[in-house]
Amino acid sequence: MISVRDIHKSYGSAEVIRGISFDVEPGEVVCIIGPSGSGKSTILRCINGLETYQKGDILIDGTRVDPEDKSIKAIRQRVSMVFQRFNLFPHRTAIENVMEGPVYVMGMPRAKARELAASYLDKVGLGDKMDSYPDNLSGGQQQRVAIARALAMQPEAILFDEPTSALDPELVGDVLGVMRQVAEEGMTMVVVTHEMGFAREVADRVLFLEGGVIVEQGPAGEVLRNPQELRTQSFLKRVL
Ligand code: ADP
Ligand code: MG
């Protein structure tokens, strides 16, 4: 579904992605782990067309991701993104935040979008918070609204960039629970996370990134329990 082929990306003279390749099959959950600054957010942003890249190809079901082409709007609809800091519209209620994409991007009638948004808010356990403003929701609730918003675009895949890193520890579990449910329902997911328990239990595959390259990748159980590379071993020792 997602094919990343030999991507190179520089900011000025600094090459931060130095030849990354991987594929994500439909329904697969791939977790990306690695130290801060290793390029995890950058590669997600490239897949979603939020960043340009200088070399290589990213294909979504065969369509090349080109941030400068008009096809990029359709790509962003097919591959939605959940950010560390939720990025909700502060002056819109939970349900209005979720309706936004269906109404303005997909051109859905408001009544139908409202119905759809309500069903997704129910799904993430916020059926009773539809008319709340983001400021009146906890970080965990805001992130679940953001996940409902991503789902409401009826995407083929969802990219998550450290979705629980900004949350108080006691709120992390609810968000991971919703992500697990979305995964079990067959969504294709790429998840940048430091939650090794989630990676071990939910991911099909784990990629370990460092210095803009994939140092090691494989089935989640193997990479996390029995890493082959020294750099993976020392990273896991620090985070586990
Ligand atoms: P991670 O998400 O793994 O912490 P990032 O993808 O955010 O890493 O960053 C990778 C590298 O690219 C870092 O060295 C970071 O400083 C650099 N970088 C990220 N965004 C920018 C930017 N907009 N301009 C310049 N350098 C950037
Ligand atoms: Mg990051």
For every residue of 10-64, which 3-state class applies, written as one string? EECCEEEEEEEEEEECCCCEEEEECCCCCCHHHHHHHHCCCCCCCEEEEEECCEE
- Which atom of ligand 1 is nearest to 34's Cα? 3
CA 16–ligand 2 middle distance (angstroms): 12
Site to probe by mutation for ligand 1, drawn from 17, 41, 46 as the one with most ligand atoms within 8 Å of Cβ, is 41
CA 37–ligand 2 middle distance (angstroms): 7
How far CA 100 is from CA of 60, 141, 230, in Å, comes to 24, 18, 46
**37 ligand 1 Cβ < 6 A:** yes
Residue 106 has pLDDT above 90, yes or no: no
Please give the pLDDT value at position 63. Answer: 93
Per-residue tokens: 35: 């130290």
Contact 56, 6 (CB under 8 A): yes
Name the residue with the closest Cα to ligand 1, atom 11.
37
Give the number of other Cβ atoms within 10 Å of residue 134's Cβ.
20
Q: How far apart are the C-alpha atoms of 184 and 207, rounded to whole Å?
A: 20
pLDDT digits (tens, 9 = 90+) for 52-73: 999 999 999 999 999 898 989 8
Say if pTM beats, i.e. exceeds, 0.90.
yes
Q: What is the ipTM of this complex?
A: 0.98
Which residue bears the tokens 């059926």?
A: 127
